[in-house]
Structure 1
Amino acid sequence: MHARTPEQASFAASIDAFCRARTGTRAQRDALTQHGVEAHNVELYAQMAELGWLGVGIDAEYGGSGGGMSEICLFAERTAYGLAPVGGYVTTAVAAGPYAKFGTPAQKQKVLTGITQGRVEAISISEPGAGSDAAAITCRAERASGGFVVNGQKTWCSNAHIADHLLLVARTRSAGQGSRHEGLTMFCVPANTPGVEIRGIPTLNGKEVNDVYFTDCFLPEDSVVGVVDQAWPQLMSGLNSERLILAATMLGRGRRAFDDAVAYVKDRKQFGKPVGSFQALKHRIADLALELECSELLLYRVAQMADEAPEKMLPREASMAKLKATETAKRVALEGVQMMGGYGYATEFDMESHLRATVISTVYGGTSEIQRDIIGKTFGL
């Protein structure tokens, strides 16, 4: 395990104790999530806000504690390990970055303060024809009197249905002869703005993602976050945080899946002894423990690098952390199902939910293939 400061150790211990008390049993979690359908519980999230945890990465002037990426990752990891249904935190923490860096004073006051008080934020980038290729965005925001009118569709928008605002990336002009990423702009869109329609997309993992439709949606000039036509470099400046937060969440879930599997193979007996004593399973457990340890050390090393140089882009390291943690978590859950046999597939146990939560993690936030491509490019390939 990576070394923690005394303050970080105390923070982690507090989160673990909270989760044991509030989400420690299956009955508690079922009650909070409508038996696994809801990924986010507003009341539980509000309790965390009262404890000051949701502002861990936000400056004190907005009600936060001014922590860095290491503390944000620690919160994401330990809540994921504790199976706390606070799925809104990931997109909220990621969205906070652009507002903190590029938002107007009014936007910062409204959004960042709201986050510390328990409000959820979402980011709307992907479209039916623009997933990994964000330069293909066609949702348009055209100049109108006093602002912009938005038309188009976004998809796979996590937490839009519970968010206060959508951090929208739309095309404000056609790309010139230069970069295909030119001409994109960020907007702060209140989720209840006329012309915005949010429709949930049913998935294996319950209510998480949405289609968002914009129909003649008027946004005033002060909705722009940062500089018009400069959303792409603004997005690039936040990739460290997005990839690290996703990695931390999956590290926590992977560790929980691992611990659940170990507990099962220690207790389950076949042929007169625990199945975990068989070499095939013992070696499998050893390999998974090794991969989780590597994931943790990599994640927090990169988080430390980000804290030491907040303005530095870390495309190779951040992509490595996201790739390693998500692929490892998915592997742990798959192996957990295999080791538990039919019980790993049964909803009576948590392993099947671990699988549903982790298998998609190698797709969202940049697929594993995209992460490998980015890493390769940093070597001049």
Structure 2
Amino acid sequence: MSNSGSSRFSSEQVEYAHAVRAFCNREAGTREQRDALTDNGRECHSPELHQKFADAGLLAVSIPEEYGGSGGGLVEQCLMFEEIFRGLAPLHGAGTSHTVAGIYKKFANEEQKKDALAAISSGTVMSISISEPEAGSDAANISCKAEKVDQGYRITGQKTWCSDAQFAGRILLVARTSRGEKRHDGLTMLEVPAGSEGLDINPISTMGGREVNDLFFTDVLVPDSAVVGEAGGAWKQVMAGLNGERLVCAAQALGSAQRTFDDLLDYVKERKQFGQPIGTFQALRHRIADIAIEIEAARALTYDTVLLVEKGTAPADELVRRTSMAKVKMTEVAKKVALEGVQMMGGYGYATEYGMESHLRHSIAPTIYAGTNEVQREIISSTFGLR
């Protein structure tokens, strides 16, 4: 959260953002600390740090008080993720956990809420699994099957690109329980313990580290009580959470963009060529000014949209359009800042020692997940009647 944007928020929200920033600076503020927490950058999530974050009362900010949280909303959630990503704190599992929490808050029964939301509040990581090899952007093509059997469901099939499953205590699975007239009919959300017999979790190696997984289900049995929400109604439940998911993605990208900019600014002020700091050369000064403008413009779009969604008074099409716009703009600004950083730092931008190449690697995936930016553009154009 920048000083220029703090007027949008209450004093309590500002204090919370500062508390998250202080935690990240204290626990993961140095390269040495982060390397120790992430196996030298190979992991995106530290279970140890996640538990500390929960114990400090910072994790469950948007979970209702009766389930162990602080009772905040989407604003606090976005402030949290902006600061986590700005601080480079390896708390990737916090994102998937809050996505799952949002679904439980809206659709779970009271017993499920008491159990799952309290677990998330106390530090249990949860993951959500939707994508399959033939069902990415085309999520209605899900084929992983959950067959009804006596007193439960038998799950068979494959899922992919499942974030943080290797750390999760539970996985919220979207599986096919029936076929209907429409392609997205017959999908159901089921809670699956990560240690279930017949479930294999295989990490996928990526340029961003070990953050996603293939999941293989071989006759995995779950009880009837594992259904979250309405059997056959998962599509509606997934769609209901998309506005918040896009804005959390935008907030994460904002934090990343700001950290990349901060690191770049420090570098151009210190690095000297021809007897003076390279940041004094007009070519670089103007590029620095341009990316600063881009960040602030995208920040305004993101948080103005967050506040609009919180109010809940705008037409549905406007909310969908604005959240998709924020997701596209902020993730592409983050990637642009990182590309500019590598270019302005020259060879040092390419070297692992300085971290700019890491900023670039981690700026790419957000343009793909939470709905690719190409899909977001389709959504935006459709709200203008272009179908």
The answer to whether the superposition gives a TM-score over 0.5 is yes
1:176-215 Cα deviation digits (max 9, x unpaired): 1xx3211111111111111211000011111100000111
Match of residue 336 from structure 1: 341
Cα displacement (A) at 1:49 = 0.9
Counterpart AA for 2:281: F
Match of 2:231 among 210, 228, 231: 228
Q: Does 1:271 align with 2:284?
A: no
TM-align CA RMSD: 1.3
1:128-179 Cα deviation digits (max 9, x unpaired): 0110010111111111111111111000000000011111101111231xx3
Match of 2:377 among 359, 362, 372: 372
Name which of structure 1's ranges 158-167 and 1-10 shifts more when overlaid on structure 2: 1-10
Aligned partners of 2:270 and 2:277 also within 8 Å: yes
Q: Does 1:72 align with 2:77?
A: yes
3-state SS, counterpart of residue 135 of structure 1: helix
Match of residue 100 from structure 1: 105
Match of 2:39 among 22, 34, 48: 34
Match of residue 117 from structure 2: 112
Q: Does 1:173 align with 2:173?
A: no
Aligned partners of 1:146 and 1:220 also within 8 Å: yes
Q: Does 1:25 align with 2:53?
A: no
Cα displacement (A) at 1:310 = 8.8
3-state SS, counterpart of residue 111 of structure 2: helix
Distance in 1 separating the partners of 2:60 and 2:131? 27
Match of residue 289 from structure 1: 292
Match of residue 132 from structure 1: 137
Distance 1:37 1:239, change over 3 A: same
Aligned partners of 1:45 and 1:118 also within 8 Å: yes
Aligned partners of 1:306 and 1:312 also within 8 Å: no
Aligned partners of 1:56 and 1:64 also within 8 Å: yes
Counterpart AA for 1:194: E
Distance 1:74 1:167, change over 3 A: same
Aligned partners of 1:94 and 1:245 also within 8 Å: no
Cα displacement (A) at 1:340 = 0.7
**Which stretches in structure 2 are left out of the alignment for 5+ residues?**
none
Counterpart AA for 2:308: M
Match of residue 200 from structure 1: 203
Cα displacement (A) at 1:244 = 0.9
Counterpart AA for 1:165: R
Cα displacement (A) at 1:106 = 2.1
Counterpart AA for 2:165: A
Distance in 1 separating the partners of 2:102 and 2:161? 20
Match of 1:50 among 37, 40, 55: 55
Q: Does 1:5 align with 2:10?
A: yes
Distance in 2 separating the partners of 1:232 and 1:115? 23
Aligned partners of 1:196 and 1:214 also within 8 Å: yes
Match of residue 241 from structure 2: 238
1:194-246 Cα deviation digits (max 9, x unpaired): 12110000111111000001111112111111111111111111001111111
Q: Does 1:15 align with 2:47?
A: no
Counterpart AA for 1:338: Q
Aligned partners of 1:329 and 1:358 also within 8 Å: yes
1:296-337 Cα deviation digits (max 9, x unpaired): 111111111222129974211111111111111011111111
Match of residue 165 from structure 2: 160
Aligned partners of 1:49 and 1:116 also within 8 Å: yes
Cα displacement (A) at 1:272 = 1.8
Aligned partners of 1:334 and 1:355 also within 8 Å: yes
3-state SS, counterpart of residue 347 of structure 1: coil
Distance in 2 separating the partners of 1:317 and 1:167? 27
Distance in 1 separating the partners of 2:314 and 2:51? 31
Name which of structure 1's ranges 95-104 and 10-19 shifts more when overlaid on structure 2: 10-19
Aligned partners of 2:308 and 2:314 also within 8 Å: no
Counterpart AA for 1:335: E
3-state SS, counterpart of residue 211 of structure 2: coil
Counterpart AA for 2:230: V
Per the normalisation by structure 2, the TM-score is 0.96
Distance in 1 separating the partners of 2:180 and 2:290? 48
Name which of structure 1's ranges 128-137 and 16-25 shifts more when overlaid on structure 2: 16-25
Match of residue 152 from structure 2: 147
